[in-house]
Amino acid sequence: MARIIKYRAWDNQNGGWYHSPQFVIRPYSGRATDGAIVPDVVLSQYTGLNDKHGKEIYEGDICTDDNQGFLEVCWSDLHQWGCKVHNKGELLKGLTFPLWHWDKCEMNGYRELEVVGNIFENMDLLKKVI
């Protein structure tokens, strides 16, 4: 099975998303474009996993499950794709779990996680008291 490589780009100036293949990344320029030059973007990579509703999970997404509260999807050198755990608005320092921790059955791709937002548009979710 081939790994799917996708990105989305958050436009810091205009507050919107560009989704691949709508944009081209030029090496060393740090810019993404859909025909226009957009100088201030942040890239988020697709993890290759989907949530329990089939929605693609990207770096920077905010997820929830029934037990952990809010989780921020991030890259972890230890786990590759992981989740930072937030509890009552506080990031639990050093607490990063591998994303596959929530995978109950690899055969059908079922996930307990649900994408509820992202760190660019919904940072307030991580500050919410749970």
Query: Hey, where are the domains in the chain?
Result: 7-127
Q: What confidence tier does 117 reach under pLDDT thresholds 50, 70, 90? A: very high
Per-residue pLDDT band for 109 (boundaries 50, 70, 90) equals: very low
In this predicted model, what pLDDT tens digit does every residue of 19-66 receive, in sequence order? 876 666 665 555 555 555 667 888 898 888 888 899 998 999 998 876
**What proportion of the chain, given as a percentage, has pLDDT over 70?**
55
> Quick check: pTM over 0.85?
no
Question: What one-letter code names the amino acid at 104?
Answer: K
Q: CATH assignment of 7-127?
A: 2.30.30.290
Question: What is the structure's pLDDT at 102?
Answer: 58
The full DSSP string for 96-115 is: EEEGGGGEEETTTTEES-EE
